[in-house]
Amino acid sequence: MTLYIRFGSLAGRNFELTNGVLTVGRGENCAVRFDPLTERIASKEHAFIEAKTDGFYLFDNQSRNGTLLNGEKIQNAKLNHGDRIQFGRSGIEATVKIESDSYPSEPTILKPAFQLPNNFQPAPANQFPRPPSDNWRNSIAGLGAGHIREQSQTNQTGKYIGVAVAIFSTVFLSLILILRVFASVGIGAALIASVVAFVPAMVYLLPLLWLDRYDPEPFWLLSMAFAWGALVAVIVSFIVNTILGSFLGETFGAVVSAPVFEEGSKGLGLVLLLVFFRRYFDDILDGIVFAGVIALGFSTVENVLYYGRGILEGGSDALVVLFVLRGIMSPFAHVSFTAMTGIGCGIARESHNKAVRLLMPIIGYICAVLLHAIWNGAAVIGEM
């Protein structure tokens, strides 16, 4: 059998399979390896083709965007000459070529060279062990191809507890944040500022979603990332900055304390995503996307406070000026800072070197702090 790649970085290449397994994906161990940076519709271990005694079979390996055979999404199917395979809808396309004599050969069967006596009675079938079934799971046992896992019935109690804790934590932190905003700027100003801050934030998210269009992350995980920035990072930063600012002064707090602890609280969310959601955190681009979403959550709530104070101090004129400065001229400032940590986490995710996996998130965090400190320092100098 020959797999002919029609498009992409491997366009025009032929991959032969006579026996065994042919793995397909972006992973470094795949026999048919797509470009890991530009061809992200395909998963790292997207699918595999296995040679059996009766033909060649295509299996989807729980890929993110699915495997299509002649336009239909499949889990496993027997291949025929001329079949068209797509690794993800709108993904890389390949065609199958199977010659009539290219099927795996039948196993040789030895026949006895003597005649059985007429009164020969075979033993009952139940005296002999039953041979293992010839199914697709057993046929690749021991090879590790595709990492096929048996679906098992698991206890859902832990899942429900986790969901309950997440909901409770979100509601609790939201109440704390709402009380803090109302106490700072009042209910009326807070409501107006929230509309002015959150509506554009949906637009600010679009470039990040566009970057991640070929291998999109699930909506619930992006929502968690946004909530981390808007709730956890904001509350932690507010508490720490308030305490240190009272001792060290506003200038020191803005240039040193705020960058260190704000980027630390946002970066902690990235590390948690890297550790607990590795299935979705694939590479550097995912690090940038997750970092950007967390940072937008943080900056959106921060804008609510700035806009609210502007309304109290200068009315609508001050609100317009602040919106131009923060909402139009610099909406991606926090995204740029935290993206440094995201890049570090992405490099760590792609590397197999323990030193790189440990050091790169730290180096990324240091770069984020430096960028943030330079930005805040320039603002402080401009006010002098």
The string of pLDDT tens digits covering residues 14-67 is 999 988 899 999 888 899 999 887 887 888 889 999 999 889 999 998 887 889
Structure tokens at 84: 């068209």
Q: Mean of the per-residue pLDDT values for the chain?
A: 82
* Position with higher pLDDT, 25 vs 99: 25
Q: 86 — alpha (psi -120 to 50), left (phi > 0) or beta?
A: beta
Q: Is the pLDDT of residue 108 over 50?
A: no
Tens-digit pLDDT profile for residues 232-290: 888 888 888 888 877 777 777 788 888 999 999 999 999 999 998 888 888 899 999 99
Q: Which two tokens stand for residue 224?
A: 């968690």
Going by pLDDT thresholds of 50, 70 and 90, the confidence category of residue 122 is: low
| C-alpha distances out from residue 149 to 138, 140, 206, 234, Å | 12, 12, 36, 41
* Chain centre to alpha carbon of residue 360: 18
Query: How many Å apart are CA 367 and CA 351, to the nearest integer?
Result: 20
Per-residue pLDDT, averaged over 193-207, amounts to 93
Kindly list the distances between the CA atom of residue 193 and the CA atoms of 73, 174, 201, 227, 335, in Å, as whole numbers in the listed order: 47, 16, 12, 18, 21
For residue 189, is pLDDT > 80? yes
Task: Reply yes or no on whether the pLDDT at 105 is more than 80.
Answer: no
Question: In the predicted model, is pLDDT for residue 373 greater than 90?
Answer: yes
Per-residue confidence (pLDDT) for residue 313, from 0 to 100: 86
Q: What is the CATH number of domain 2-105?
A: 2.60.200.20
Q: Averaged over 152-170, what is the pLDDT?
A: 62
Handedness of CA 256, 257, 259, 264 (dihedral sign): positive
Residue 335 has pLDDT above 90, yes or no: yes
Structural domain boundaries of the chain? 2-105, 157-383
Structure confidence at residue 141 (pLDDT): 44
pLDDT band at 152 (very low <50, low <70, confident <90, very high): very low
Which of 133, 136, 134, 135 has the alpha carbon at shortest distance from 47?
136
Partners of residue 68 on adjacent β-strands:
73, 86
